[in-house]
Amino acid sequence: MKRSRETAASELFAALYPRLAGWCRRLVDDDGTAHEIASEAFTRLWARWTSVAEPRGFLYVTAANLVRDHWRKLERERRAVRRATTEEAVRPPTEQADPSVRLLVQSLPERLRVPILLHYYADMPIREVSALTGRKEGTIKADLHAARELLRAHLGRSLDHTL
């Protein structure tokens, strides 16, 4: 029994780890951090192995949460550096809006961010996103539409400022 559990976990790791780590890499722009997040997602799956019905979905949702935590940590660090810099400067420099899609996705409310990450970044069909989030397919479609509209509006404003 234990041997088959380890074999199944090993096969799952071989099949999913490269894609999961690549997906994380696109989200965090750092190979080391991406591999840490993907590894942590697998570690958390292993800890719950017998109670997880859908391992692939569990891995992507867990990785999305870890990416969100990573972004939050980076934002706290940026704010701390900004505060320290502001205290030293007579007048703080004007910040330019960052049109980076990754940062815009990060700024979305979780209700919109998770479907975007799962559908567009993890290439999951709407049906699967619906099952993983426990929300109806129509709701997922509406959330994806709302998220795209918000991103479009933010990108449009960013582009207007750069022209």
Q: Are 37 and 67 in contact (CB under 8 A)?
A: yes
More confident position, 97 or 29: 29
Per-residue pLDDT reduced to its tens digit, 118-152: 888 878 889 988 888 889 999 999 999 998 998 88
Q: How far apart are CA 25 and CA 55, in angstroms?
A: 20
Q: Are 55 and 5 in contact (CB under 8 A)?
A: no
Q: How far apart are CA 59 and CA 54, in angstroms?
A: 9
Let me know the angle formed at the C-alpha of 111 by 130 and 77, rounded to the nearest 5 degrees. Answer: 130
More confident position, 97 or 136: 136
